[in-house]
């Protein structure tokens, strides 16, 4: 009888230790997940980047249409992770006075992230003497193409409409 009490005590202690270690590990994973952009949408079935490097207003509209269509196709914004990366002439989509500002705002509300290349912005400023004002929803990245490469390595599909 004493042997079974010891075994139960040891088993209880072992289970308590496993639980504590598990909680600690979950906490650590949780902290890392907070810093991992891929965890922003843990139920996403697909991760897509829409590359915009053309200043054509029809193409800009098409990129926004595609983002909206993807959200519908996947059944809502929680099931698709979308970034629009604008560089070169495509940065015009993210100008504060762009005619698509309301659509950008609506898509951002659905979790679409709009990344703007700061190398492009700095080049425009050097060339024209004026720094373009960007939409307040723009998330700056230093180099748009480098961001694409990084995301491709993280499993994002890059689409250039």
Q: Determine the Cα–Cα distance for residues 67 and 33; give it in Å rounded to an integer.
A: 25
Query: For the whole model, what pTM was predicted?
Result: 0.76
Instruction: Based on the fold, state whether residues 70 and 28 are members of the same structural domain.
Output: no
Q: CA angle, corner 47, sides to 152 and 137, nearest 5?
A: 95
Instruction: Based on the fold, state whether residues 74 and 123 are members of the same structural domain.
Output: yes
Instruction: Based on the fold, state whether residues 72 and 127 are members of the same structural domain.
Output: yes
Alpha helices in the chain (DSSP H): 2-35, 57-73, 101-109, 118-128, 144-153
Q: What is the pLDDT of residues 44-98, one digit of tens each?
A: 999 999 999 999 999 999 999 999 999 999 999 999 999 999 999 999 999 999 9
Q: What is the pLDDT of residue 41?
A: 87
CATH number for the domain spanning 104: value is 3.40.1260.10
Instruction: Based on the fold, state whether residues 23 and 81 are members of the same structural domain.
Output: no
Instruction: Based on the fold, state whether residues 58 and 28 are members of the same structural domain.
Output: no
Q: What is the pLDDT of residues 140-156, one digit of tens each?
A: 999 999 999 999 999 99
Q: What is the pLDDT of residues 90-136, one digit of tens each?
A: 999 999 999 999 999 999 999 999 999 999 999 999 999 999 999 99
């Amino acid at each position: 009888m004493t042997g079974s009490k010891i075994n139960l005590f040891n088993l209880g202690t072992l289970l308590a230790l496993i639980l504590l270690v598990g909680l600690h590990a979950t906490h650590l994973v949780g902290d890392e997940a907070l810093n991992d952009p891929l965890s922003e949408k843990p139920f996403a079935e697909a991760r897509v980047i829409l590359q915009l490097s053309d200043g054509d207003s029809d193409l800009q509209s098409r990129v926004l249409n595609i983002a909206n269509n993807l959200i519908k196709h996947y059944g809502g914004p929680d099931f698709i992770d979308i970034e629009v990366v604008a560089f070169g002439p495509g940065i015009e989509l993210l100008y504060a006075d762009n005619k698509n500002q309301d659509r950008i705002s609506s898509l951002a509300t659905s979790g679409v992230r709009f990344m703007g290349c700061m190398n492009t912005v700095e080049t425009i400023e050097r060339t024209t003497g004026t720094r373009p004002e960007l939409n307040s929803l723009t998330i700056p990245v230093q180099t748009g193409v480098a961001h694409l490469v990084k995301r491709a390595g993280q499993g994002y599909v890059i689409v250039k409409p």
